[in-house]
């Protein structure tokens, strides 16, 4: 795990884009992206990927807020509305126009994600972290922290029903980037970098289990 203190989140764009391009030159690559503050970064990262290279790329989400297709709080809808241009990449949408049943939606997402993982030479995850230490849609103390078999899980949480990748999927990543900025993240960043906590207490600790992982933040001095 390598930690870098940066002035602004946008500094993380270049290293993520560079890692993606290197992976795409080698072969099929799965890129799992986050919502929230990462949306703007993902839009700009994708702008740096050539259309020809993008044909080797599959893109999906690390978590989604369950509901009708393109509902206002959907991470995917917000990403597309922000101007994300997937070019020739294959897209795995968590929600689809017929997403009217949570179990069917989960089964479809799991199957498509599993196929992409099996077919990919590189699996790159891009994450944010909540001020409570959550990562993807895995909230501290939630049922998602206890899942040991599935690649994805759906569960009720306030204020959204969440669909998220699990720790099992995290462990299949070849590279993970965590971008966490803002003073409200400082306490959790200090805990993540300096303490070994249970995944239930601080789900973001899963980053430490990935062989190649990078934390970009504006609160804690970097270390390698």
Task: State the Cα angle at 125 between 121 and 128, rounded to 5°.
Answer: 175
Helix (H, G, I), strand (E, B), or coil: what is residue 82?
Answer: coil
Kindly state the helix (H) or strand (E) to which residue 152 belongs, with its residue range.
Answer: strand 152-156
Task: Report in angstroms the alpha-carbon separations of 78 from 52, 64, 84, 154, 213.
Answer: 25, 11, 9, 20, 26
| N-to-C CA span, the chain | 7
Both tokens of 149, joined, read 């078999």
CATH class, domain 2-217, is alpha beta
Which pLDDT score, from 0 to 100, does residue 223 have? 64
Which pLDDT score, from 0 to 100, does residue 99 have? 78
Which pLDDT score, from 0 to 100, does residue 224 have? 56
Which pLDDT score, from 0 to 100, does residue 100 have? 81
| Contact criterion met (CB below 8 Å) for 126 and 179 | yes
Measured CA to CA, the distance from residue 93 to residue 213 in angstroms comes to 25
Which pLDDT score, from 0 to 100, does residue 165 have? 98
- Find tokens 């790159």 and name the residue: 124
Residues contacting residue 57 through CB under 8 Å, at least 6 positions apart: 20, 24, 28, 29, 30, 31, 49, 88, 89, 90
| Contact criterion met (CB below 8 Å) for 188 and 132 | yes
Mean pLDDT by groups of 10 residues along the chain of 224 residues = 94 98 98 96 98 98 96 97 98 91 95 98 98 98 96 94 98 98 96 96 98 95 68
């Amino acid at each position: 795990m390598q930690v870098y203190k940066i002035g602004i989140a946008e500094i993380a764009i270049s290293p993520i884009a560079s890692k993606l391009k290197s992976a795409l030159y080698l072969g099929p690559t799965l890129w799992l992206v986050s919502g929230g503050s990462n949306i703007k970064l993902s839009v700009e990262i994708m702008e740096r990927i050539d259309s020809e290279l993008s044909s080797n790329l599959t893109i999906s989400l690390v978590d989604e807020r369950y509901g009708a297709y393109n509902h206002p709080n959907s991470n995917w809808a917000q990403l597309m509305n922000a101007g994300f241009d997937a070019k020739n990449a294959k897209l795995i949408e968590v929600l689809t126009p017929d997403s009217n049943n949570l179990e069917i939606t989960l089964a479809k997402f799991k199957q498509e994600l599993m196929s992409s993982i099996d077919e990919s030479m590189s699996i790159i995850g891009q994450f944010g972290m909540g001020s409570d230490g959550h990562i993807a849609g895995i909230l501290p103390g939630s049922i998602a922290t206890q899942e040991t078999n599935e690649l994805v899980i759906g569960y009720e949480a306030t204020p959204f029903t969440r669909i998220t990748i699990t720790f099992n999927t995290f462990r299949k990543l070849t590279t993970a980037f965590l971008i966490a900025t803002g003073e409200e993240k400082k306490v959790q960043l200090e805990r993540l970098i300096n303490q070994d906590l249970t995944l239930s207490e601080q789900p973001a600790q899963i980053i430490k289990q990935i062989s190649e992982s990078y934390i970009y933040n504006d609160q804690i001095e970097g270390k390698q």
